[in-house]
């Protein structure tokens, strides 16, 4: 009996050790990458515990805020790539697939993008140049250093139409033009990176169909879009699985990749 007990204890210890060696990225290595949003504290070494978990469990990363416009270009005469450069270096040093988030978004974008110093709105042509020069500087700075961009973020409303945002308003409500130009410029200034559209509530049939229409529009214009990123603002029992599956199937049928689901605020995404 004593010998049997010893054997059982050893068996349990071996099983626990084997289980402890399993990781999220290892479990899904043959299916997809497992990623996590990271903040400045993680990439600059102040949050070493989180960094340790990320390097153990994940093989892809996205920046939480360090590559948004208010950080990179806080004023007309100032650029600040320090935090974003640290993020990119963190990914490179650790062999992680790196996403750039995001080039065109209405939130966390300074007012001077859209208005003159006296508060008057920029003209259509000025807005085209604002977008072009910003993407040239940002995508050009990181060209060849990251794997993909969220080119446009959250421009489709729940009913499938374009949201009334600072960007769409600046283009007289023509969301198609905003999206066309953004993807065109992103491809021009970082041609090797994958190009994604990212949004939340993508499971909603009306929003899903609006995004699908936008993808078809880009494809018809001969403008490259490689995939759709899905933010998961979900609960344990919401939304229904069939809605999520239908969204995946809809986008896959268009011939683009699906990056599901992306949880915000430094939580894991796959």
Annotated domain spans of the chain: 39-269
**CATH architecture label of 39-269:** Alpha-Beta Barrel (3.20)
Structure tokens at 231: 């933010």
pTM (two decimals)? 0.89
Instruction: List, as one string, the DSSP characters of 169-219.
Output: HHTTT-HHHHHHHHHHHHHHHSTTSEEEEEEE-TTSHHHHHHHHHHHHHHH
Mean pLDDT, residues 98-123 taken together: 97
Q: What is the C-alpha separation between 163 and 20, in angstroms, rounded?
A: 46
pLDDT tens-digit series, residues 126-164: 999 999 999 999 999 999 999 999 999 999 999 999 999
Mean pLDDT score, 238-265: 86
Residue pLDDT, tens place only, 17-76: 444 569 999 999 999 999 999 999 999 999 999 999 999 999 999 999 999 999 999 999
Selection from 196, 194, 210, 221 nearest residue 247 by Cα: 210
Strands 268-269 and 35-38, sheet pairing: antiparallel
Of 128, 102, 74, 73, nearest in space to 200 by CA? 102
């Amino acid at each position: 009996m004593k010998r049997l007990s010893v054997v059982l204890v050893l068996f349990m210890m071996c099983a626990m050790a084997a289980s402890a060696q399993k990781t999220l990225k290892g479990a899904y290595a043959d299916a997809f990458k497992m990623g996590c949003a990271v903040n400045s504290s993680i990439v600059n070494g102040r949050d070493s515990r989180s960094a340790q978990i990320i390097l153990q469990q994940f093989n892809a990363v996205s920046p939480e805020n360090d590559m948004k416009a208010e950080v990179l270009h806080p004023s007309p005469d100032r650029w600040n790539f320090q935090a974003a450069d640290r993020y990119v270096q963190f990914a490179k040093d650790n062999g992680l697939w790196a996403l750039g988030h995001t080039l065109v978004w209405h939130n966390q974008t300074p007012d001077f993008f859209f208005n003159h110093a006296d508060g008057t709105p920029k003209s259509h042509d000025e807005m085209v140049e604002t977008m072009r020069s910003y993407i040239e500087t940002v995508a050009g700075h990181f060209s060849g250093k990251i794997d993909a961009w969220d080119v446009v973020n959250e421009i489709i409303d729940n009913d499938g139409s374009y949201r009334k945002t600072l960007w769409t308003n600046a283009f007289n409500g023509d969301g198609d033009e905003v999206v066309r130009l953004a993807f065109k410029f992103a491809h021009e200034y970082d041609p090797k990176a994958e190009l994604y559209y990212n949004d939340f509530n993508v499971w909603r049939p009306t929003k899903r169909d609006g995004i699908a229409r936008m993808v078809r529009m880009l494809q018809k214009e001969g403008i490259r879009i490689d995939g759709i990123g899905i933010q998961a603002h979900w609960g344990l029992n919401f939304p229904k699985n069939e809605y999520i599956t239908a969204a995946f199937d809809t986008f896959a049928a268009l011939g683009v990749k699906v990056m599901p689901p992306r949880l915000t605020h430094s939580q894991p995404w796959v």
